[in-house]
């Protein structure tokens, strides 16, 4: 999904996308690409006036200066669409410069011309200028290289070194010497800027010191807004590669059907979605500064996360786009040429890329990470008060009776219909989770049952519901899931466990594997083939199996951790009565898809206790000593972990808005499990010879256990390879495997 997830933001994105498609079609981009490098496009560009009439230059600026009065998030949405269209010219640099000025003074005089499009501004991120004090003013000298749109701008916002710190100044282009230089991206001109004893007086309205603009905020604004353009580039590359993979045929079929291409495209959208979530979060963090002074500690972290992920996503995705296209992608005429050049220049615009992972580590281990919270509408406070009162009442009940009250009140899975749940809308579900957490009232843990209960509610008979749901909600019944087989893991449609109809029920024979907690379970959800002649997705029935039935044998499967979370279950001519068929005979695939949907959403949004999580990893870094290479890798992992949490938050908000969160859940599982493995790999690698210690009472041994356990995470609940197929086929529309 793009940055926009609310209806208002989606409307804004759609409007800008339509505008960009009109003013910057492919032929306009190539015409500029082939023009003389010193003047590839007119100044201002032909679209400049139309953009101003649509209010795009001032979308983030105060209405007092002619802007639209929105925030950095809205500007990020605009810039992402400009990135998607690879729009040539100085729009992005001017928008960033105006945002810097507005952060100092939202009603500065110079902003009126920028909002109306009468003036063009630019900025620099690196300080090549020095200033000395001269009376009440400054004298500025030095050179800043590779300033975007320097020759096109009339106003420049530049950092200068003064005394022992850094200040930002606004200078008139006429006071500077500007030398245009050839850019890797001809559509994004550059220039060297020299200041030869430029005097800046304190009462100069056109040139002033932005002394209310801190260096952290300036860098956060620049990196967040550049990141917004970068994810637009990444999204274009992903969409274009997928579109080509659908129609380009080799060896008699579309190349998008080959897993090598399919998985590459899926990896592209996963990386783009993660970076998009990070940019969305960073823009919101900056906007939070307007409302909440306590947010100041977190915007720098969020911006550094975005800057760590977004330019890399743009570069990786454009490179992979070229690869998917093959030889045609390497030609001058193909649009991939334009977008790859844009990605390279964008990456350079951030300065030294290693600084951002380092900033992630520094902020995470000092001021802390930005909390991932859902801010609900104030109108929900009445509902929250009612729920809080009910939670307090539950807390007052004696512990031995509390679980019964929680179960009977529908609190365990409140989204379910009454009487099993509370028929809660998504917002109410969030409030319930928050209030139970805040009140420290524990709800019974469902384990695997959390994935099976919705299927019983949706497909079970009244007798099945009455028999199984109340004790399960009270935490009295443990369930297991008997789906995977030695020859049918993620490919459940290939299962061979056979059910034969007999009087009053079925005789089932087969073998299941990777069954979590089977040795402790009273009941299991079992898939078996009831019609061998039917196509493989048909002829499957969903049974509820009493694990104490004669013929059921559970053998714990000792894993490489030394523990036995999984099991092999042998089912030898086990009788299951007709009353234990869930749903219709031969329609079990439909029921199982309901269960698997619940499973994947749950896994993608949780942090299992036997694995290292982000908070533990940051704590580990806080207590240790690591070189720059290690800190760079650590910053990457923290950025990935935080963005995965934000991706889950966006999925939740999308659900609140009535959207489909399932595709994002597949991406979340794919990314978060891999990052979780990375935490443990990093920690174990940092111990040196001590990494061989297997005693889990010591830190090396504890992290070694995390590492060993983590190998399962990219297998269970659908392997990473299966998740890549799901992402490619459902999100990108690539053809299914033959």
CATH of the domain at 84: 1.10.540.10
**% of residues, the chain, pLDDT over 90:** 71
Work out the average pLDDT over 386-391.
94
> What was the pLDDT predicted at 508?
97
Q: What is the pLDDT of residue 292?
A: 67
pLDDT tier at 604, thresholds 50, 70, 90:
very low
Calculate mean pLDDT across residues 137-147. Answer: 93
Which domain, by its residues, includes 68? 7-122
112 and 173 housed in the same domain: no
- Reported as a pLDDT band with limits 50, 70 and 90, residue 206 is low
Burial of 473 by CB count in 10 Å (0-12 exposed, 13-18 middle, 19+ buried)?
A: buried
Token pair in block for residue 406: 């929680």
Please count the structural domains in the chain.
Answer: 3
In this structure, are 104 and 164 located in the same domain?
Answer: no
Band (pLDDT 50/70/90 cuts) for residue 602 is very low
Residues 155 and 195 in one domain: yes
Residue 95 lies in a domain: yes
User: What is residue 492's DSSP assignment?
Assistant: G
Answer whether residue 606 shows pLDDT above 80: no
Q: Which of 55-64, 432-441, 494-503 has the lowest mean pLDDT?
A: 432-441
Note whether 93 and 181 are same-domain residues. Answer: no
Q: What is the pLDDT of residue 603?
A: 38
DSSP class per residue in 40-62: SS-SS-TTHHHHHHTT-TTTTS-
* Whether residues 166 and 69 fall in one domain: no
Q: Band the pLDDT of 293: cuts 50, 70, 90.
A: low
Domain boundary among 556, 583, 602: 602
Judgement on whether residues 93 and 138 belong to the same structural domain of the protein: no
Q: What's the chain's average pLDDT?
A: 91
pLDDT exceeds cutoff 70 at 204: no
Instruction: Let me know if 221 is exposed, middle or buried by CB neighbors in 10 A (0-12, 13-18, 19+).
Output: buried
- Same-domain check for residues 20 and 133: no
Is 74 in the same domain as 174? no
Same domain? 145 vs 90: no
Residue 25 resides in a domain: yes
Whether 58 and 167 share a structural domain: no
Would residue 516 count as lying in a domain? yes
Residue 358 counted as domain residue: no
Same domain as 494, residue 584: yes
Average pLDDT of the residues in 73-100: 97
Measured CA distances, 202 to 136, 154, 576, 679 (Å):
6, 20, 88, 51
Q: How confident is the model at residue 163 (pLDDT cuts 50, 70, 90)?
A: confident
Report the pLDDT averaged over residues 296-321: 94
Do the beta carbons of residue 543 and residue 581 sit within 8 Å? yes
Q: What is the pLDDT of residue 658?
A: 67
Whether residue 142 is contained in a domain is answered as yes
702/379: higher pLDDT: 702
| pLDDT exceeds cutoff 90 at 605 | no
Average confidence (pLDDT) over 185-214: 84
Q: Tell me, what CATH number does 500's domain have?
A: 2.40.110.10
pLDDT at residue 655, rounded to an integer: 72
SS3 content of the chain, % helix, strand, coil (to 5): 55, 15, 30
Q: Which whole number is the average pLDDT over 110-139? A: 92
Q: Is residue 220 part of a domain?
A: no
Q: What is the pLDDT of residue 607?
A: 65
Domain limit, last residue, from 147, 181, 209: 209
pLDDT at residue 520 greater than cutoff 90: yes
What's the pLDDT at 599? 44
Q: Is residue 171 part of a domain?
A: yes
Residue 2, in any domain of the structure:
no
Name the domain boundary from 602, 626, 650.
Answer: 602
Q: What would the two tokens of residue 349 be?
A: 């615009």
Give the DSSP H or E segment for 141. strand 137-148
Ranges of H-type helices in 292-408 = 296-325, 335-349, 355-365, 381-396, 399-408
Helix axes 259-291, 72-84, angle to 10 degrees: 150
In this structure, the dihedral spanned by the alpha carbons of residues 101, 107, 111 and 116, taken in order and rounded to 10 degrees, is 150
Residues 597 and 479 in one domain: yes
Between 294 and 97, the higher pLDDT residue? 97
Report the C-alpha gap between 80 and 307 in whole angstroms: 14
Catalytic positions, please? 599
Interval 126-151 mean pLDDT: 91
Report the pLDDT value the prediction gives residue 40, as an integer from 0 to 100.
81
Instruction: Kindly tell me if the per-residue pLDDT of 297 is higher than 80.
Output: no
User: Angle at Cα 213 formed by Cα 119 and Cα 162, nearest 5°?
Assistant: 100
pLDDT at 601 > cutoff 60: no
Q: What are the tens digits of pLDDT across the range 471-493?
A: 999 999 999 999 989 887 667 67
């Amino acid at each position: 999904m793009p940055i926009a997830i609310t209806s208002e933001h989606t409307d804004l994105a759609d409007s800008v996308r339509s505008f960009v498609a009109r003013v910057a079609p492919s032929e306009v981009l190539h015409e500029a690409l082939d023009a003389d490098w010193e003047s590839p496009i007119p100044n201002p560009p032909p679209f400049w006036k139309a953009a101003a009439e649509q209010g795009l230059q001032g979308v983030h600026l105060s209405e007092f200066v002619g802007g639209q009065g929105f925030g950095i998030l809205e500007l990020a949405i605009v810039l992402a669409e400009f990135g998607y269209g690879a729009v040539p010219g100085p729009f992005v640099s001017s928008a960033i410069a105006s945002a810097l000025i507005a952060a100092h003074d939202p009603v500065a005089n110079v902003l009126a011309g920028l909002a109306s499009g009468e003036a063009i501004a630019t900025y620099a991120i690196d300080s090549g200028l020095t200033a000395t004090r001269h009376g009440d003013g400054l004298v500025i000298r030095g050179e800043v290289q590779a300033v975007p749109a320097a020759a096109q701008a009339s106003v420049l916002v530049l950092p200068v070194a003064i005394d022992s710190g850094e200040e930002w100044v606004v200078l008139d282009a006429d006071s500077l010497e500007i030398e245009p230089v050839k850019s890797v991206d001809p559509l994004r001109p550059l220039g060297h800027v020299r200041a030869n004893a430029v005097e800046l007086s304190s009462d100069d309205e056109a040139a002033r010191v932005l002394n209310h603009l801190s260096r952290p905020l300036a860098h956060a604004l620049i990196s967040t807004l550049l990141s917004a353009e970068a994810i637009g580039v990444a999204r274009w590359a992903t969409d274009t590669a997928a579109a080509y993979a659908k129609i380009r045929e080799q060896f008699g079929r579309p190349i998008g059907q080959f897993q090598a291409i399919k998985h590459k495209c899926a990896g592209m959208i996963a990386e783009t979605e993660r970076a998009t979530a990070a940019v969305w979060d960073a823009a919101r963090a900056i906007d939070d500064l307007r409302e909440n002074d306590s947010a100041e500690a977190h915007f720098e972290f969020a911006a550094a996360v975005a800057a760590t992920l977004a330019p890399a996503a743009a570069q990786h995705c454009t490179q992979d786009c070229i690869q998917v296209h093959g030889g045609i992608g390497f030609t001058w005429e193909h649009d991939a040429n334009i977008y790859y050049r844009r990605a390279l220049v964008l990456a350079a615009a951030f300065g030294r890329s290693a600084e951002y992972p380092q900033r992630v580590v520094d902020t995470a281990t000092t001021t802390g990470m930005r909390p991932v919270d859902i801010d609900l509408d104030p109108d929900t406070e009445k509902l929250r008060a009612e729920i809080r009162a009910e939670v307090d009442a539950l807390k007052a009940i004696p512990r031995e009776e509390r679980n019964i009250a929680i179960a009977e009140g529908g609190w365990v899975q409140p989204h379910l219909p009454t009487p099993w749940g509370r028929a809660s809308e998504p917002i109410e579900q969030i409030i319930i989770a928050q209030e139970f957490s805040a009140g420290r009232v524990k709800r019974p843990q469902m384990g695997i049952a959390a994935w099976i209960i919705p299927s019983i509610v949706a497909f079970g008979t009244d007798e099945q519901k009455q028999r199984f749901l109340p004790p399960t909600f009270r935490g009295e019944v443990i369930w297991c899931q008997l789906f995977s087989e030695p020859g049918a893991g993620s490919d459940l449609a290939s299962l061979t466990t056979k059910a034969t109809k007999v009087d009053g029920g079925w005789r089932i024979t087969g073998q299941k594997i990777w069954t979590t907690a089977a040795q402790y379970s009273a009941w299991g959800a079992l898939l078996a083939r009831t019609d061998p002649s039917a196509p493989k997705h048909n002829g499957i029935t969903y049974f509820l199996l009493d694990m104490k039935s004669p013929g059921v044998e559970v053998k714990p499967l000792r894993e490489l951790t030394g523990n036995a979370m999984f099991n092999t279950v042998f089912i030898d001519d086990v009788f299951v009565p007709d009353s234990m068929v869930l749903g219709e005979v031969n329609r079990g695939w439909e029921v199982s898809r309901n269960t698997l949907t619940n499973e994947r959403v749950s896994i993608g949004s949780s942090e299992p206790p036997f694995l290292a999580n982000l908070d533990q990893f940051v704590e580990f870094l806080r207590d240790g000593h690591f070189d720059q290479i290690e800190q760079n890798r650590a910053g990457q992992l923290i950025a990935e972990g935080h963005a995965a949490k934000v991706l889950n938050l966006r999925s939740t908000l999308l659900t609140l808005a009535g959207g489909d969160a399932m595709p994002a859940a597949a991406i979340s599982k794919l990314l978060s499990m891999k990052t979780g493995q990375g935490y443990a790999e990093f920690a174990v690698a940092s111990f040196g010879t001590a990494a061989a210690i297997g005693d889990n009472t010591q830190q090396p041994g504890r992290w070694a256990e995390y590492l060993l356990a983590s190998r399962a995470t990219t297998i269970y609940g659908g392997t990473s390879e299966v998740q890549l197929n799901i992402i490619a086929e459902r999100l990108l529309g690539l053809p299914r495997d033959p």
